Amino acid sequence: MLNAKTVLITGASRGVGKEAARACAAAGARVILHFNVNQDAALDLAREIDAVGCVAADLSKPGAADRLWLQAKKMAGGRIHALVNNAGVYRATPLGNAQSWTSGWAEQFQVNVLAACELMRNAINDWGKSGGAIVNIASRAAYRGDGPDHAGYAASKGALVAAAKTLARAHAADQVLIYTLTPGWIETDMAPHRVEARAQAVAEIPLGRVAQPQEIAAMTAFLLSGQCASATGSVIDINGASFMR
């Protein structure tokens, strides 16, 4: 499905990003892995899937996404055909603490929105009329909201959804395909692990379990393949029927 295509995946050292890298590599892609601090995990994965290479970048820093794109292009030896915006942060922003509220909102918008959109901007500008594909990993929180201490996270994912829809509409004629996935809880480090919280999270999922990262990865690889170009602009829920629009 992805033979000879180069795919840049952010946040690829663990969780959904790691499984997306495996799925894309299995589909024939040349994968470039982005990581922030988990260098050993990224290098292990690179060896496992025979990735093109790894690029370190702290996407909470202004300008880091632009630098990441340029480094990845150099590593690829030319064109990057597809992008997976998976990197994200989930910070509590309680109303009662002004300092953590401000810093948490700022960090989440920098990583979850600005960095992702900067990468999309770089990709679209590079592709011109030659086309390419982007998958953004957002959250069901973009539509239904999140817990009382995570308004900043929900708002950032809502902003990412809106930006992706806008860019999809604007650039579809150039065969730039942009999709956004909005999962609920996924079996990653971000999922609740305390017994009480875990039981509550699963109880609201009709399917009876949280999603596996391999499920998100499989959808990602399929969408990047271009086999369903008419779905560009779509936002696809993957949450076990826990929230339906």
Determine the 3-state secondary structure of 89 from DSSP: coil
Residues with Cβ within 8 Å of residue 39, at least 6 apart in sequence: 13, 54, 56
Determine the 3-state secondary structure of 220 from DSSP: helix
Number of domains the chain contains: 1
Residue range 38-63, pLDDT digits in tens: 999 999 999 999 999 999 999 999 99
Q: How far is CA 68 from CA 65, 71, 128, in A?
A: 5, 5, 19
pLDDT bracket for residue 163 (50, 70, 90): very high
Residue range 126-159, pLDDT digits in tens: 999 999 999 999 999 999 999 999 999 999 999 9
| pTM metric for this prediction | 0.94
| Domain at 40, CATH number | 3.40.50.720
Residue 141 lies in a domain: yes
Residue 38: domain span:
6-238
132-137 and 82-85 strand pairing: parallel
Q: How far is CA 138 from the centre of its chain?
A: 6
Residue 245 lies in a domain: no
Instruction: Kindly report the average pLDDT of the chain as a whole number.
Output: 95
Residue range 88-131, pLDDT digits in tens: 999 999 999 999 999 999 999 999 999 999 999 999 999 999 99
Residue 97 lies in a domain: yes
* pLDDT for the residue 187: 85
Residue 244 lies in a domain: no
